[in-house]
Amino acid sequence: MLTESAFAVVIGCAFGLGVCLLLSLAPRVSAPSLSRRIAPYIRDVIDPQGLGPVLSPVSGMRDVAREVLTAAARLFGGADALQRRLDRAGWGRDAAAFRSRQLLWGLAGLAAGGLVLVALAVVGAFTPVAALLPPIAAVAAAVLFDARLSAAARARARRVEEELPTVLDFLALCLAAGEGILDSLRRVGELGSGELTGEIRTVVLAVGTGSPLPDALTAMSRRVQIPAVSRSVDQVVAALDRGAPLALVLQAQASDAREDAKRTLIEQAGRKEILMLLPLVFLILPLSVLFAVFPGVFLLRLGIG
């Protein structure tokens, strides 16, 4: 009886939600409100720029919605911060598209949680606490999609840092052979196949469409957001402005990038060494002590030793 009642409650809630959604899409036939009728005549008094509604009866609800959106933006990052993360990950989409995809993930999590809730109700294991499963699944799906973006950005940053010394050496070699900086960038973009060479192809395309080379390089450093790349771009831009030899500058930057990579590798090795001690201390050492002590204890209990 309890299972049938729970199933009826779930089906009734789903039906009521569907009816409410259909009613919200139905056209509304009503006379315009007083605030809508007088707003064009008093906007220059209370809203000179015409940026918002005047005398809206739901302004309080809109303020609450604005606070909720602000809190969500603070939790997941604003549009500017999100766009920087998207550029760093190389996903090639804007913040609005990412939020739309994240909303779809949240709705998918909500639907999955609802299906699990219905299954629990059908098998008779429905509890009041289980009603929290759909919203928890929706929030978890949205957070998981955001974490996927962060992981993609970190992985791409590591790949760019690994490619940087080789790309700088290749550029320096092309410049030393007598090619110009733009021709060297074009050659590296044509022959390379990594993340950094893809950004270089974007720089060459931007220059070909009329953008100055220093501006295109600066835009690339802003997209990548890696300190080593930013330093190299700043040095190249300064050398272009002052007429310094670019080959020597790029060779010095490649050497610095290799030193940074070596330092990072040593730091990672130190952290891995500490992590390798964990199974040794908590697994291998206790088992060794157990194998060494257990035979003696067993013999003492038998009274042989």
Give φ, ψ of 27 to 5 degrees.
-70, 145
- Domain definitions of the chain by residue range: 157-261
Question: Among positive and negative, which fits the CA dihedral 87, 89, 91, 97?
Answer: negative
Q: What is the pLDDT of residue 65?
A: 47
The whole model's pTM is what? 0.63
Q: What share of the chain is helix, strand, coil (3-state, %, to 5)?
A: 85, 0, 15
Architecture of domain 157-261: Up-down Bundle (1.20)
What pLDDT tens digit does each residue of the chain (305 aa) get? 446 666 676 777 778 777 777 776 666 655 666 766 776 666 554 444 444 444 444 444 455 545 555 655 565 567 778 888 888 888 877 888 888 888 889 888 888 888 888 888 778 777 777 788 888 988 999 899 999 999 999 999 888 888 888 888 888 888 888 888 888 888 888 887 888 888 899 999 999 888 898 899 998 988 888 888 888 888 888 888 887 788 888 888 888 888 888 888 888 888 888 888 888 888 888 888 888 888 777 777 777 65
Whole-angstrom Cα distance, residue 87 to residue 85? 5
Whole-angstrom Cα distance, residue 229 to residue 245? 19
Whole-angstrom Cα distance, residue 201 to residue 178? 21
User: Residue 253: which of 156, 183, 166 has the closest Cα?
Assistant: 166
Q: What is the pLDDT of residue 5?
A: 66
Cα dihedral 52→57→58→63 (10° resolution):
60
96's tokens: 């609005």
